[in-house]
Amino acid sequence: MKYPVRFFVIILITICTSILKAEEALEKLPKIVYINMNKVMNETSAGKSLINQLEKIHKSNIGEFKKIEEELKAEESLILSQKNIISQDEYKNKVNLFDKKLNDYKKQRKEKIEAVAKKKAEATSKLLKEITPILTEYSEKNNISIILRKEDLVIARSHLEITNEIIKIVNSKVKKININ
C-alpha cells in the first residue's frame, strides 16, 4: 500500500510542476491581437467627422460642376442654333472659344477632384497619427507584442480582436479632426 501512495504523490507533484512550467512558458510567448482599422476609421467620432467634412466638400463641388455643365450646355445649343445664321468664320471662332471653355472646365474639375483626394489622404494620415500612440499605449498596458490588421489575416479567433476597445479609447481621446 505504501508504494501506490508514493507513486501517486510523485505523479501528482510531477504533473503540478509541469503545469506551472507550461504556464510560465505561455506567459513568455508573445501576445498577438488584431484590429479592424477600417472600422476604427469609420466608426470613431473623429473618423465620422472627417467623412462628413469630405462629403460636404464633395457635394459642393458636384453642385458647382452641375451649374457649370448646365451653362456649357446652354452655350453649346446657342452656338449650334446660330450655325446657319452667322458666317462660317464667326461660327468657328465661337466653337473654338467654347472648346477652350470646355477644356478649362475639365481641367478645373480634375484639379478639384484631385484636391479632395489629397485632402482625404491627409485627413486619414492625421487620424492614423492620432491612433498610433493610443495603440502603443494600449499594447504596453496589456502586454501585447504584436497588433495585426484584420485585413491581413486569413482566420483568427474573435476574442483576439481589440477593435471595439480601441474605438472606445479613440472616442474618449480624439473628438474631431479638421481637414483644413
Query: Is 2 or 51 the better-scoring residue by pLDDT?
Result: 51
Instruction: Tell whether 2 is covered by a domain.
Output: no
Cell of 25: 512558458
Residue 179 lies in a domain: no
The grid coordinates listed for 49 are 467627422
Q: What is the pTM of this model?
A: 0.71
> Does residue 17 fall inside a structural domain?
no
Structure letter (DSSP) for residue 154? S
**Which of 10-19, 88-97, 159-168 is least confident?**
10-19
Residue numbers of the domain that contains 80: 29-173
Domain-embedded: residue 145: yes
Give the whole-angstrom CA distance, residue 114 versus residue 123: 14
Which is it for the CA torsion 124, 130, 132, 134, positive or negative?
Answer: negative
Confidence band for 1, pLDDT divided at 50, 70 and 90: low
- Whether residue 45 is contained in a domain is answered as yes
Does residue 23 belong to any structural domain of this protein? no
The confidence band for 156, taking pLDDT boundaries of 50, 70 and 90, is confident
Query: Residue 134: which CATH number?
Result: 3.30.910.20
* Cα diameter, the chain: 125
Contacts of 32 (CB under 8 A, 6+ apart): 144, 145, 146, 147, 148, 160
Q: How many domains does the chain have?
A: 1
pLDDT band at 79 (very low <50, low <70, confident <90, very high): confident
